[in-house]
Amino acid sequence: MAQFDYDLFVIGAGSGGVRAARVSAGMGAKVAIAEESRYGGTCVIRGCVPKKLMVYASAYSEMFEDARGYGWTVPEASFDWAALKTARDAEIDRLEGIYRKILGGSNVEMIDSRAHMVDAHTVGLADGKRVSAKTILIVTGGRPALPDFEGVEHTITSDDIFELETQPESILCLGGGYISLEFACVFHGLGTKVTVSNRSTLLRGYDGDVRAHLIEALEEKGIDLRLGVNPVKIEENAGRKRVTFDDGNTLTVDAILAATGRRPNTDNLGLEEAGITMGRAGAIEVDEYSRTNIPSVYAIGDVTNRVQLTPVAIREGMAFAETVFNDNPTSPDHELIATAVFTQPEIGIIGLTEEQAREKHDVAIYRSTFRPMINVLAGREEKMLMKIIVDKTTDRVLGVHIVGHHAGEMIQCAAIAVKMGATKADFDRTMAVHPTSAEELVTMRDPVTES
């Protein structure tokens, strides 16, 4: 019988890799994990967590304005970018320390080095050392993908946002996806003049009512939306960037965020040389159990380009450990995944869009647009949107879409019901919690009239 240095060697210490490593170790495996950067991966270090902290920070500008409507005398507020950066970075350092502590407490050997595949059972490290493993798990995540046009080197990516020492007075956010729009809202809330440009609409693939509602809200906030145009050239002069669009218009700003997509982080990992099959955009192809075409090699998370969400990578890591080290073949469930977009207003979704549902179902649409109570005394006109999509034949709820205060929190709870196969009748017989915005989910009785 072949002898290996480790039962499992994990390449990449993001959320999915850390979960897979420690759970596998808890099942009795001898495990090592290699990371060339920081433990916690994109989500903890340069993604979800620091971004959400910035979302919270940016929301205070409207809170200060709204407080006056509730009787508070609020002095003129000012924002200190350096203070936020210091506090945010300290929290990220704390979280990384927790990740390392968890791994150490699970008897996972941590190797602070870049690692790459050599063959089906061998991993090479940056210092030239080679180690062997019965099973290798690749969890190297993804990275921002830059568009291709003249002067793109003058842009920054979502990774770079967290390294900015000073706040730009003006910024152009390139892209219509959630990363571009979340940061557009963050910078707007912090006082930066924001422009968003995209070659098509915003949030392509999301429900049409959600997209229209968000576009209206962003425009009302004063964010400059330039849709249907592409940048063709960026020129830098005295630290400022001048963008030329394909319609001939120009724009000069202090910073440009290129958030036009992400790609799997598979370059220079020795994957092709090891014989691993690669798919679109450099993603690692895997089967339903996250196994590659090489039986001893698995991959989970964004590197597989299945569903690029941190909780999905964590769930895939759990399924991997069950499959390989607990003799319990487990396929991660990628159906009906709830998600949130932390724009302002916030978005929460689960299930099918109306457009998707109409392709295969005879549907009834329940939709409500209203001003939430919190905005009334504040004098803020921003409205919420709630939408439920129902199969007329089975009465099953196919999708729930929320735009507004605490949409992410609400959709997590709604997702449980939708995942269980709840019907509209189940929603209707659920007693409302009053006064809340969420009660609208169980009080919409009549479908909208189809045109």
Q: Which of 121, 154, 188, 434 is catalytic?
A: 434
Residue 252 has phi, psi (to 5 degrees) of -115, 125
CA distance 161 to 157: 7
Check if 434 is active-site. yes
CA distance 277 to 284: 6
Cα 36-38-41 angle, rounded to 5 deg: 100
Name the residue among 303, 333, 287 with its Cα closest to residue 143.
303
Enter the DSSP assignment of 229. Answer: -
Q: Which two structure tokens, joined as six digits, stand for 6? A: 């480790």
Name the residue among 173, 213, 178, 216 with its Cα closest to residue 196.
173
* Rg (alpha carbons) of the chain, rounded to whole number: 24
Q: What is the DSSP string of 299-313?
A: E-GGGGTS---HHHH
First CA to last CA distance, the chain: 70
Name the residue among 416, 263, 243, 241 with its Cα closest to residue 338.
416
Cα 231-171-403 angle, rounded to 5 deg: 95
* Catalytically annotated residues: 434
